[in-house]
Structure 1
Amino acid sequence: MLRPFRKIILTGVSKNNCRLFSLSQNYWNTNNKGLVLGVYEKEKEDGSLQFTEAGETFDRSVSGKLRELLSISGPALKKGKSRLFYGVHKEFPSVVVVGLGKTSAGVCNQENWDTGRENIRAAVSVGCRQLQDLEIPEVEVDPCGDPQSAAEGAVLGLFEYDELKQKKKTVVKTQLHGSADREAWGKGLLYAEGQNLARHLMEGPANYITPTCFAETIQKRLQSVSDKVTVHIRPKSWIEDHQMSAFLSVSKGSDEPPVFLEIQYNGSAHASLPPLVLVGKGVTFDSGGISLKPSSGMDAMRADMGGAATVCAAIVTAAALKLPLNIVGLAPLCENMPNGCANKPGDVVRAKNGKTIQIDNTDAEGRLILADALCYAHSFNPKAIVNAATLTGAMDVALGSAAAGVFTNSDWLWNHLNQASVVTGDRVWRMPLYQHYTRQVTESQLADLNNVGKYSRSGGACTAAAFLKEFVTAPHWAHLDIAGVMSNKDEVPYLRKGMSGRPTRTLVEFAARLSKDV
């Protein structure tokens, strides 16, 4: 049975005579392939339309008809906008032309990112989604001068978590169009697939992504990409033996058993070289415990393991890229629930390093599980320790979704993280680690530390970082508070609404740069 005819613009169109034709579904079934091409904005009023190199080649193959169609189909394409044409080319019945902005776009110090790369990601994602909506299963993508960014835009833009729905989006296979750098394209695919893995874990319902399920998912993914990885899924008995009482105190409020996930990737030719240690907060559901959160929006707390998701996904990507670097990943995984065994406000627990902690707010649980994980991280003689956590709502208040906050004791580490984020467009911003904040968590009535600052409404992200610093002796440590970038509404144009998986690509790029650091 044929579907209704579609109107399409065919070749041979002139400015004064735009001929419309209809094609039956038979045509689409035998030529169900799409193409995304880029075009730049005119930088001068009298300037001519400027395609990318791939766009120019394509336009010549159709005798300039694509250029002609663009000139008569409306105003010049602006950055991030698109225009769809049918029947221009026999091999590609559907062609989407996307606006890339200005050719001169590059690194912008004010925005702290590479604007050109961001323009490519945003534009390509728009074109790929448009073809996905047409249920076209195969799409070739213009490299737009940067194949890695084009691949990232395509794969990130097409992702949507719909595996629990009966009606699913069309699965689209993306390919590089033309003879551009295929190695860079492949790198972009891996970067984007890594972030999509983090999005998949963060978006999954908490009754599906339990601590055990999370750990097993990562184990399977790592086993499929590299033979240089060892994964340990540590049970509760191991956690007890290692005196991680702060971590255990959070987990005891849930019937789900805690898991301490430990990953060792030995990518360096020298196994004895100090590793980069990545630590991620892994609260697979955070009710707030006895200090119960408001019910509105609590469902989003299935993604409170975003730190663990981004860290583990970054290691999966690093292994797939075969980075010549040793990396250790640590993820304390548990739920924070309010049963009869749960932590109570005023309780005191002892961390792995012997320091006692007064728990005045059970919803400040992430710093408790990270405290023990950070202590354990030092046993690997790390080159650097970087932890990521959806730690505080105060971070969202401070920076919103524009950037992840970075608290660090190392200028060297900050420079690497910042430079990586400029390349990926997934930005970071340095925050203060003043003694001013340390004093607020070390003045505690019953214990060495309090898990909330003395002035709980002021500088919450800063006092949380100061708390973590009490469990760090390494000279190169950074804490990424990613609460503000946990989800996406419409802020990042190449990510659909939902959990963002940020800043996975920045962590991967950071690791790649660290592997070259001598």
Structure 2
Amino acid sequence: VSAKLYGSRDQEAWQKEVIFASGQNLARHSMETPANEMTPTRFAKIIEKNLKSASSKTEVYIRPKSWIEDQAMGSFLSVAKGSDKPPVFLEIHYTGSPDTSEQPLVFVGKGITFDSGGISIKASANMDLMRADMGGAESICSAIVSAAKLDLPINIIGLALLCENMPSRKANKPEDVGRARNGKTIQVNNTDAEGRLILADALCYAHTYNPKVIIDAATLTGAMDVALGSGATGVFTNSSWLWKKLFQASIETGDHVWRMPLFEHYTRQVIDCQSGGACTAAAFLKEFVTHPMWAHLDIAGVMTNKDEVPYLQKGMTRRPTRTLIQFLNGSHRDGVSLRLVLNS
């Protein structure tokens, strides 16, 4: 009956949307799982299983603490040291292009599997939601799993920084100073601003792959929720071309994004920020990026659903997974124009 009712084009569109939905559901499931079950190691194993079953064109590297130390990722380790759960640097590769040496797109995700705030501990009210502070890592990993299922002809690398942010005698203290992978020192004023610390090292590492673009996603700041609420993901980028492609993808999915300022004004406020918290956080990350095609997605405001998106019901949304999948889905068609932009 379905063969008579629907043509092959409809069937293809249906199957594509099923993959989009399954990617979002994978992310939602992980975000809803209690933190004692969804540890950094467990997270990595789940993504490995899903990626390997999606395509044979994949590789998964679950990097242990010793590897992180060898990479001089002192900023990442400074956050992880407060927990007795070992940190993991999860690196996933999907090589879908016929040219295996083609520059990859690199996605980076914040993967704090539970965020207590550390020594600068959060208020107890709603702290249970912090089991979902790995939403950025889950979004980028789920998007790559979906790209593998769609057999997209592009190369993608995903980098997920996985650890807990906990208070202990070993934890970061306010005014402690750490050193990131690129040698920059960072003074910690508030240990609850841990997301930017782990992303700093990952963004430095992402450059080693000579990527076409770098996109990071993170439940980074409460200020993003204040600015945009749950209406859209905030996008900070140094590339108008990249912004346009992300915006177009969001129009296709209905999972909206909105461009935010990345002015030098906010860089000057990083040390002593009293306002514009989402903007100063993005300005901080910019200090670890030299690539001309970078976008930072602050997804804190869209982390949970408060009845605004009826089909998602209440709970974790795992937005903007579908927009990231759509961006990847369009990337192989944009290869020529992207090369022109990079060479101009």
Q: TM-score, normalised by structure 1?
A: 0.64
1:196-224 deviations in whole A, cap 9, x for unaligned? Answer: 00001111100110000000000000111
Per the TM alignment, residue 494 of structure 1 is displaced from its structure 2 partner at its CA by 1.1
Structure 1 CA distance, aligned partners of 2:294 and 2:203? 10
Structure 2 partner of 1:311: 140
Whichever residue aligns with residue 414 of structure 1, its letter is W
CA distance in 2, matches of 1:343, 1:327: 33
1:481 is aligned, of 298, 308, 313, to 298
| Pairing 1:455–2:265 present | no
Q: How does 1:119-134 map to 2 (within 5 A)?
A: none
Between the aligned partners of 2:273 and 2:220, the Cα distance in structure 1 is 17
Equivalent in the alignment of 1:505? 322
CA distance in 2, matches of 1:423, 1:194: 16
Q: Distance in 2 between matches of 1:267 and 1:343?
A: 41
Could you tell me how far apart the structure 1 residues matched to 2:30 and 2:332 are? 27
Distance 2:117 2:316 in 1: 20
Deviations 1:7-56 (A, max 9, x none): xxxxxxxxxxxxxxxxxxxxxxxxxxxxxxxxxxxxxxxxxxxxxxxxxx
Structure of greater relative contact order (alpha carbons < 8 Å, 6+ residues apart): 2
Q: CA deviation at 1:176?
A: 9.5
The aligned residue for residue 199 of structure 2 is 370
Of 274, 289, 307, 1:490 maps to: 307
Q: Give 2:208's match in structure 1, choosing from 368, 379, 390.
A: 379
CA distance in 1 between counterparts of 2:295 and 2:60 reads 24
Residue of structure 1 in register with 2:244 after alignment: 415
Q: Does 1:425 align with 2:254?
A: yes
Task: Give the equivalent residue in structure 2 for 1:231.
Answer: 60
Provide the rounded CA distance (Å) in 1 between the counterparts of 2:127 and 2:330. Answer: 37
Query: 1:177 and 1:465, CA in 2 relative to 1: closer, same or farther beyond 3 A?
Result: farther
Distance in 2 (CA, whole Å) between partners of 1:177 and 1:487 is: 40
User: How do residues 459-474 of structure 1 correspond to structure 2 at under 5 angstroms?
Assistant: 459-474=276-291
Partners of 2:108 and 2:101 in 1: CA distance:
20
Q: In structure 2, how many angstroms separate the alpha carbons of the residues matched to 1:233 and 1:461?
A: 30
Q: How many residues align?
A: 333
Aligned to 1:283: 112
Find the counterpart in structure 2 of residue 243 from structure 1.
Answer: 72
Residue 183 of structure 1 and its aligned partner are, at CA, apart by 0.4
Match among 350, 360, 370 for residue 189 of structure 2: 360
Counterpart residue number, 1:172: none
Q: Deviations over 1:115-161 (max 9, x none)?
A: xxxxxxxxxxxxxxxxxxxxxxxxx9xxxxxxxxxxxxxxxxxxxxx
User: Which letter does structure 2 place at the counterpart of 1:481?
Assistant: D
Tell me what 1:347 maps to: 176
SS in 1 for 2:312: coil
Shift of 1:362: 0.1
Cα deviation for residue 515 of structure 1 reads 1.2
The 5 Å alignment of 1:176-325 reads: 178-180=5-7, 181-325=10-154
Q: Distance in 2 between the 1:459 and 1:408 partners?
A: 16
CA contact (8 A) 1:176 1:185 kept: no
* Amino acid paired to 2:273: Y
SS in 2 for 1:233: strand
**8 Å CA contact retained: 1:246, 1:369:** yes
Which residue pairs with 1:329 in the alignment?
Answer: 158
- 1:211–1:256 Cα contact (<8 Å) kept: yes
More helix by share: 2
Q: Distance in 2 between matches of 1:407 and 1:179?
A: 41
Larger radius of gyration: 1
| C-alpha distance 427-261 of structure 1, shift in aligned 2 (>3 A) | same
Structure 2 letter corresponding to 1:463: T
**1:455 CA drift (Å):** 2.9
Tell me what 1:9 maps to: none
> Offset at 1:178?
2.8
- Please say if residues 234 and 297 of structure 2, whose CA atoms lie closer than 8 Å, have aligned partners that are also in contact: yes
Contact 2:273 2:280 in 1 (8 A): no
Question: CA–CA distance in 2 between the matches of 1:219 and 1:235?
Answer: 15
SS at match of 2:183: coil
Superposed displacement of residue 331, structure 1: 0.3
What letter corresponds to residue 194 of structure 1 in structure 2? G
SS state of the match for residue 363, structure 1? coil
RMSD: 1.2
Q: Which residue of 1 aligns with 2:340?
A: none
User: How far did residue 496 of structure 1 move?
Assistant: 1.1
Deviation at 1:250, TM superposition (A): 0.2
